């Protein structure tokens, strides 16, 4: 059974969707560790409620990003973690960490990349006035939200949308496509060819 870690910073509703999918055996893997840079993240409570080990750190206690990343790598290796799922983790990982887990880090972003990367994908899309936005699941490379795309799903923006109402609909998409991407990754069915990701066996999010 493949083991993975989920990195979180906030409320952790995606973490919850992943925990639920593991419990329903839709994801054939085990969450060995939840890592958080935010001691008061509700995601940490969700992990504890599910009986999952947590590693919580405060970035301010370290001189550099690489200093805490080295500790995280130690925690991951201790538990033989095979790959990493970022679910609302608000820190940029350094090349040191990304190279260590090359093509083994997944991320979800609440916009259709390469549009609106960064921390405020929903707000930025809304302020720009786009009529369609969406969700992207992608591999993490050394850039910010630039890695090969696994899934994208569009969502229409409504005239009366607020950041909250739009994010709520995007979340619903996230809870469906992220567990599926994790399952396909575990089954070795995501093949990266340059910037493109092909799904072996043809299954996609539909």
Contact status: 179 vs ligand GRF (CB under 6 A):
no
Decide if 9 contacts 85 (C-beta within 8 A): no
Strand pairing category for 29-36 and 2-8: parallel
Grouping H, G, I as helix, E, B as strand and the rest as coil, residue 198 is strand
Ordered strands of the 83-86 beta sheet: 54-56, 29-36, 2-8, 83-86, 105-109, 132-139, 149-156, 196-199, 190-193
Is the CB of 76 or the CB of 108 nearer to ligand GRF?
Answer: 108
Find the binder of ligand GRF among 87, 93, 186, 190 (CB under 6 A).
Answer: 87
Rounded to whole angstroms, the Cα distance separating 20 from 9 reads: 19
CB of 15 to ligand GRF, least distance (A): 6
CB of 166 to ligand GRF, least distance (A): 11
Contact status: 88 vs ligand GRF (CB under 6 A):
yes
Is the CB of 70 or the CB of 152 nearer to ligand GRF?
Answer: 152
- Binding residues for ligand GRF restricted to 16-55, rule: CB under 6 A: 43
How many residues line the site for ligand GRF (CB under 6 A)? 12
Is the CB of 12 or the CB of 29 nearer to ligand GRF?
Answer: 12
Contact status: 161 vs ligand GRF (CB under 6 A):
no
Nearest residue to the partner ligand GRF, using Cβ: 88
Backbone angles phi, psi at 179, to 5 degrees: -55, -35
120 catalytic? Reply is no
CB of 128 to ligand GRF, least distance (A): 17
Q: What is the 3-state secondary structure (H, E, C) of 27-92?
A: CCEEEEEEEECCCCCHHHHHHHHCCCCEEECCHHHCCCHHHHHHHHHHHHHHCCCCEEEECCCCCC
The 98-117 contact track toward ligand GRF, x by CB under 6 A, reads: ----------xxx-------
For the annotated catalytic residues, the residue numbers are 109
Q: Residues interacting with ligand GRF, by CB under 6 A? A: 10-14, 43, 87-88, 108-110, 174
């Amino acid at each position: 059974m493949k083991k993975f870690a989920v990195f979180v910073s906030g409320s952790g509703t995606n973490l919850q969707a992943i925990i639920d999918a593991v419990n329903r055996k839709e994801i054939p893997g085990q969450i060995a560790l939840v890592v958080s840079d935010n001691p008061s993240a509700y995601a940490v409570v969700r992990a504890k409620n599910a009986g999952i080990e947590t590693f919580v750190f405060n970035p301010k206690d370290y001189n550099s990003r690489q200093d805490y990343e080295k500790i995280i790598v130690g925690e991951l290796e201790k538990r033989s973690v095979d790959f990493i799922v970022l679910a609302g983790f608000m820190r940029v990982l350094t090349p040191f960490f990304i190279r260590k887990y090359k093509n083994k880090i997944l991320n979800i972003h609440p916009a259709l990349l390469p549009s609106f990367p960064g921390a405020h994908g929903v707000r930025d899309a809304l302020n720009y006035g786009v009529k369609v936005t969406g969700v992207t699941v992608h591999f993490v490379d050394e850039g910010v939200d630039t890695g090969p795309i696994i899934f994208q799903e569009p969502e229409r923006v409504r005239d009366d949308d607020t950041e909250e109402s739009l994010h709520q609909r995007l979340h619903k998409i996230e809870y469906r496509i992220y567990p599926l991407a994790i399952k396909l990754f575990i089954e070795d069915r995501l093949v990266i060819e340059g910037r493109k990701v092909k799904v072996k066996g043809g299954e996609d999010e539909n």
